[in-house]
């Protein structure tokens, strides 16, 4: 435990405070709209630390909150059957991407993170709702999983193109929430394995990530309370606008 606190002492009070506030904010957004925790965590922490260090911090909060989301609803068995090929390729793609690229694989790492955030934000703001013919799921699902895995390995962001693909499947609200939780859980676990393979996820990093579970859960509870009192549609639009600005900044400044 002393080594965990030493991790935050090494960061310094300003950066440690940024980490805590980031997970509070990310948890709040997830509580309101059902997604966004790893995306916000990677985006904001990517401004101040290497992407691999930011990704290591999100492993425990992301895994726990996604399992919480995954547990809601009664569609897990059917979703596992339907999404199994995509999830398998997502896991494989993340491991292959980690071996090939790695999340800190060059000076372009932050630009790649910025590009992923910007692409997701633009899709969220202007992307038209797609409806995928069921006959195309057999090949498009695994392809989306593979690409998402490579993007996850390079940036720590799980959403492109997995989220647009899942949104094209005409799932009802409960199925969609559970499908997102399932996809994000697999992505997080695969990312953890990839980071461990790069020696970026030791015991100290996991302990530091565990400490961020409390602010993430507190933020989620606040977000669920807030969801009953504000327009979720307006909140989501503001979220994507902010994400686009953050992604553009990372893309330009690196």
- Give residue 139's domain range: 2-253
What's the CA gap between 248 and 163, in Å, rounded? 20
The whole-model pTM stands at 0.86
pLDDT for the residue numbered 16: 85
Of the candidates 222, 241, 245, which has an alpha carbon nearest to the alpha carbon of residue 30? 222
Torsion 230-232-238-242 (CA) sign: positive
What's the CA gap between 149 and 91, in Å, rounded? 6
pLDDT for the residue numbered 104: 63
User: Is pLDDT of 103 > 80?
Assistant: no
pLDDT in tens, 63-91: 998 888 777 767 888 999 999 999 999 99
pLDDT in tens, 144-173: 999 999 999 888 888 889 988 998 898 887
Of the candidates 29, 74, 25, which has an alpha carbon nearest to the alpha carbon of residue 212? 25
User: Is pLDDT of 190 > 80?
Assistant: yes
The total number of structural domains that make up the chain: 1
């Amino acid at each position: 435990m002393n080594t965990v606190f030493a991790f935050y002492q090494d960061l310094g009070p300003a950066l440690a405070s940024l980490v805590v506030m980031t997970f509070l904010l990310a948890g709040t957004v997830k509580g309101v709209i059902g997604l966004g925790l790893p995306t916000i965590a990677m985006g904001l922490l990517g401004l101040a630390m290497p992407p691999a260090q930011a990704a290591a911090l999100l492993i425990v909060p992301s895994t726990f909150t996604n399992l919480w989301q995954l547990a809601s609803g009664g569609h897990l068995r059917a979703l596992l059957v339907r999404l199994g090929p995509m999830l398998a390729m997502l896991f494989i793609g993340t491991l292959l991407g980690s071996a090939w690229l790695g999340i800190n694989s060059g000076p372009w790492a932050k630009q790649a993170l910025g590009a992923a955030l910007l692409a997701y934000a633009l899709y969220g703001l202007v992307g038209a709702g797609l409806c995928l013919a069921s006959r195309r799921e057999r090949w498009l699902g695994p392809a989306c999983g593979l690409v998402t895995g490579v993007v996850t390995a390079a940036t720590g962001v799980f959403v492109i193109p997995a989220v647009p693909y899942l949104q094209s499947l005409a799932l009802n609200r409960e199925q969609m929430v559970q499908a997102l939780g399932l996809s994000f859980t697999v992505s997080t676990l695969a990312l953890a394995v990839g980071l461990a393979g790069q020696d970026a996820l030791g015991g100290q990093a996991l302990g530091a990530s565990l400490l961020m579970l409390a602010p993430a859960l507190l933020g989620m509870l606040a977000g669920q309370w807030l969801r009953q009192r504000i327009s979720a549609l307006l909140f989501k639009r503001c979220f994507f606008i902010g994400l686009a600005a953050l992604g553009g900044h990372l893309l330009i400044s690196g």
